[in-house]
Structure 1
Amino acid sequence: MTRIIDNLFQVSDKYDALFVDLWGCVHDGVRALPEAVAALQQYRTNGGKVVLVTNSPKPRAGVAVQLDGFGVPRDSWDTIASSGDSARAAMFRGVVGEKVLFMGEWQRDEEFFEPIHVIEDPVSIERVSLEQAEGIVCCGPDDPMADPEVERGRLLYAKQKGLKLLCANPDIVVDRGEVREWCAGALARLYTEMGGESLYFGKPHPPIYDLARRRLGEMGALPPESRILAIGDGLHTDIQGAMGEDIDSLYITGGLARDITKTSHQPDKNALSTYLQTEMISPTYAIGQLR
C-alpha cells in the first residue's frame, strides 16, 4: 500500500541516490519550485546524490541551461540523464536511418542533431521531406497547443511507407505554468495506435534508466537498487518506470494528477487510492509536492 508522507526526509535516509523528474517536481515549466529545491539541497548536504532523470528531448547541457533560466540552482543536483541524450545516441547509430523527417520546433530542438563524439562510426543524419525519409525523429508537435490528430494524415503516409518513429520524449502532456501542452509521446502513441512502430528512450522505458545508472556510477560506487528512490509526477512514466526497474518511488500527486487526486497541500487519501487502483500502479510513497 502507498504511504503518504509529509516530506522527503521522513524516508531519505533509506536511499543513497534519487532519480528525480523535473517538470512538475522541481519546476513548473516557468520557474523553480522553492520547497523542492530546498529539499534536494538538504539531501545533497547530507551526502545523497541527485540524478535529474528527465524526458526532455534536450541534451543534458541544454537541460542544465534551461534549469538555470528557471532559477533551479546547480547545488540542488549532481548530474542529468535526459531522454534526448538516450534518443540521440540511438539516432546516430542509425536506428531510423540516415534521412529523417524531423517533427518538432526547430529553434527549440536544433541541438538534438549536434554530433555525439562518443559514438563509434556515427551515421550522417540528414533532415529531409516525408517523401524522402527513411524514418522519423519526433521531439514534439510542431505546435504544442494543437491536437495531435492534426498529424494523422502525415503519420498515415509514414506508416504506409513503413517508417519507424523515434520518440525523444515519451511524455504525453506537460503543464507549463497553468497551460497544458502536448509532447512527442502523444504523437508516438497516435502512430502506434495507427499501426506504426514507435521507438522510445525516455521513462518508463529501460534505456534512460541505464543512462541514469551510468551517470550515477561516474560519481563513485553504484548503489544497489534498494538504495535508489525515483521521484516524479507521471504515474505512467516516472512511477511505472521505477516499478519496472524494481526501485522505490515517491509519487508527486500535485503535478499532472492534482485534480484527480484532489491535491491541495496533500492528496485526498480516498481519491488517491481510487486512482491508483484504477490505473493498477503502486508507488511506494506519495506526497502533494516535493518538499
Structure 2
Amino acid sequence: TQIINSLSEVSGRYKALFVDLWGCVHNGITAFPDAVAALQAYRKQGGIVVLVTNSPKPRAGVAAQLGQFNVPDDAYDTISTSGDSARAAMFTGAVGTSVYFMGEWERDAGFFEPLHVIHEPVEITRVPLKEAEGIVCCGPFDTMADPEVNQADFLYAKQMGMKLLCANPDIVVDRGEKREWCAGALARLYTEMGGESLYFGKPHPPIYDLARRRLTELGHDFADSEILAIGDGPHTDIAGAMGESIDSLFITGGLAARETKTSVQPDADALQTYLAHEQSAPTYAIGFLR
C-alpha cells in the first residue's frame, strides 16, 4: 500500500472514481473542503465521479442531504446508493410482501417509494413483527443503543424463518465526534443468531453493478482497471474494491484514525500493522481526501 499526499498524484491513471461519502467527503454534519476541492479538480480534468454510498436513502434523498452538508453539485456526476440496490430487491419480493420495518421513518420513508425500474413490482405493506414475512432494516430505532436490544425480536424472527434485508451494511459511522450504529450491526447480529441477512451495499456486488450502470447512463463503459474506489472502511469500501478487482485509496483519517495514528497522514508502521490485522490491501492510502 503506497502512502500518497494528494489524489492528484494518482488520479490521472483513472477515468472514474467510486467515492464513499461518510468519513471521506463529509462527516455527517458538513463537507470536508479539501475533499470537495479534490473531486472538483478531478472532474475539471475530465474524470467522472460516482458517489457510492451505503446510505439506505434513494439517490434523490442522498443528493438532497449533500446539499444540506454543503457538498456542491459540481463535486460529483452521479450517485449509487445501497438503498436503491436494496429497494430493487424488496420490490421483487426478496423478503415477502408484508414486512417489519426497522429504522427512523421520518428519515427512511423514501425507501418505500415506488421504484419504476422494476418490472411488475410487488406491493409492500409495513406490518408489526408478528404479522411479517420478513424484515426491512434501514437502521436501528436508536442509533446509540447496543444492537443486542433487538435479540428477543430477532430470536422470534429467526424461528419464523424471516429474512432480514439490510439497506446499509455499515456497522458504525461517525457523525461529527459521535459514533453511531448502522443497519449492518443489526444484520450482523441477526446472522450471528442464525438468521439470514441479505446485503446490497459495499462490499457486496449489487451496489457495484449499480455504480457501473450509473456510468453507462452517462455514456461511459470503463474497464475495472480504469476505476479507483475511495473510502475509509476496510471491510466495506476496500474489501468491496478488492472483490471487484478495482484499485482503492484508503482514507485513514476516518474510521481508522486512531489505529493508523492519523493526524494529517497515517503513521507508516501503524498503517501496516492495522492493514495486516484487518487483512486489507488497498492500493494507496492517505490521511484525508485532498
Same fold (TM over 0.5): yes
2:176 maps to 1:177: yes
Any idea what the Cα deviations from partners look like across 1:222-262, whole Å, max 9, x if unmatched? Answer: 11110100000000000000000000000000000000000
Displacement of 1:147: 0.5
Displacement of 1:160: 0.5
Tell me the equivalent position of 1:263: 262
DSSP-derived class of the 1:131 partner: helix
2:207 maps to 1:219: no
Q: Percentage identity across aligned positions?
A: 73
Tell me the equivalent position of 2:42: 43
Tell me the equivalent position of 1:190: 189
CA distance in 1, matches of 2:109, 2:228: 33
The TM-score, its normalising length taken from structure 2, stands at 1.00
Tell me the equivalent position of 1:147: 146
Any idea what the Cα deviations from partners look like across 1:90-142, whole Å, max 9, x if unmatched? Answer: 00000000000000001110010000112111000000011110000000000
DSSP-derived class of the 2:129 partner: coil
Displacement of 1:221: 2.6
DSSP-derived class of the 2:101 partner: strand
2:51 maps to 1:52: yes
Tell me the equivalent position of 2:163: 164
Letter in 1 for 2:76: W
Letter in 1 for 2:40: Q
DSSP-derived class of the 1:259 partner: coil
Aligned residues: 290
CA distance in 2, matches of 1:81, 1:235: 19
- Unaligned runs of 5+ residues in structure 1 are none
Any idea what the Cα deviations from partners look like across 1:165-224, whole Å, max 9, x if unmatched? Answer: 000000000000000000000000000000000000000000000000000111123111
Tell me the equivalent position of 1:288: 287
CA distance in 2, matches of 1:273, 1:221: 36
CA distance in 2, matches of 1:121, 1:219: 26
CA distance in 2, matches of 1:263, 1:153: 40
Tell me the equivalent position of 1:95: 94
- Unaligned runs of 5+ residues in structure 2 are none
CA distance in 1, matches of 2:33, 2:216: 28
The TM-score, its normalising length taken from structure 1, stands at 0.99
State the Cα RMSD in Å.
0.4
Displacement of 1:279: 1.2
DSSP-derived class of the 1:53 partner: strand
CA distance in 2, matches of 1:52, 1:98: 30
CA distance in 2, matches of 1:27, 1:220: 28
- Most deviating of 117-126 and 52-61: 117-126
